[in-house]
Amino acid sequence: MGVYKMTTFEQLLDTFIIEQKTWLVTGNAGFIGSNLTEFLLLHNQKVVGLDNFSTGFKHNIDDVLASVGEKSAKNFIFIEGDIADFKICQKACEDVDIVLHQAALGSVPRSIADPVTSNRSNITGFLNMLTAAKDSGVKRFVYASSSSVYGDSKELPKVEERTGNLLSPYATMKMANELYAGVFTKTYGIETIGLRYFNVFGRRQDPNGAYAAVIPKWVDSLLAKEDVFIYGDGETSRDFTYIDNVIQMNLLAGTTINTDAFGKAFNVAVGGRNTLNELYALINKELSARVQGFQKQEAKYQDFRIGDIRHSNADISKAQKMLGYEPTHTIYQGMEEAIDWYIADIKSTS
């Protein structure tokens, strides 16, 4: 039998036991931000949270603080404010070691419906945070980019160095973030790393609202016996990525000593691909196994949405090689964990 070799991430968590840093998590009342906050607090780190509750929820912060316990909760400071306000960004960056910038107005359809409001958060807010971090002497700035930057590229899997023509204002904003970050690394020396998220899902993901992510929205509709709509023919495919993989990548990016990673962007995914039809069948299967009396139902198909990428599948070899990334959850492992949370959350709010 071979000797077990710890992963880069496992080694990092060992250092957290004795080495405490201060992390700023913007958008920390949201889905990804609240999970990052919880994980860091559970692993002996200090966290400053910043959110304006435009898409996040106070109950997410309350849930995090309850789950980490009284001792760890004392390592958390919250600032309510908007990243479009530069003074708020300056305040948030004081005495911070690492920024995990998650705050944004997500959603391709939202950006098409109202590009100006999205731009205020995703461009002005991003530049405010980047500048405030630089001015405060923050060394490391990790930020959320998006797989939407691949645009109409037909290449599969998607490789970081090759993108296509952008298909939405949201994609344009995320690409602008990457360009700004790269320039700030070259010009000012701040260590930026972009994370191109591929269809993240998991606990604390909001099932409500016009721009809710597809998985919690479908679970919600199925449990309520409402119609479920699939845009297009259902053969559109995505690299569905569980939240634990995203947490790992943020922390690896926040602490890596590989200088070649600075000023670059990395795919955050599993490296798999599932169609919407496969996803819908999987959700029906999981609900059938867990909810008494649940009956599978057929989806209804609508026209393709403007700005949607047809296929999305990531090459994760760059993240594996440069950051030591090793995803722990496939869509199937992630769904087994997430589905119970979705069910409990929907029951608690219904």
Mind telling me the catalytic residues? 170
Output the six-digit token pair for 187: 């010009």
Instruction: Judge whether 83 and 89 are in contact, CB under 8 Å.
Output: yes
Under DSSP, is residue 41 helix (H, G, I), strand (E, B) or coil?
helix
Q: 1-8 — which CB contacts under 8 Å span 24+ positions?
A: 7/324, 7/326, 8/252, 8/323, 8/324, 8/325, 8/326
Question: How many Cα atoms within 13 Å fall on the side-chain side of residue 124?
Answer: 13
Distance set, CA 168 to CA 154, 181, 217 (Å): 16, 20, 22
Instruction: Judge whether 104 and 27 are in contact, CB under 8 Å.
Output: yes
Strands 274-275 and 237-238: antiparallel
314 DSSP assignment: B
For CA atoms 155, 142, 107, 168, give the dihedral sign: negative
Is residue 90 packed enough to be buried (19+ CB in 10 Å), middle (13-18) or exposed (0-12)?
middle
CA distance 245 to 248: 5
Output the six-digit token pair for 154: 């037909």
3-state per-residue secondary structure call for 141-153: EEEEEEHHHHCCC
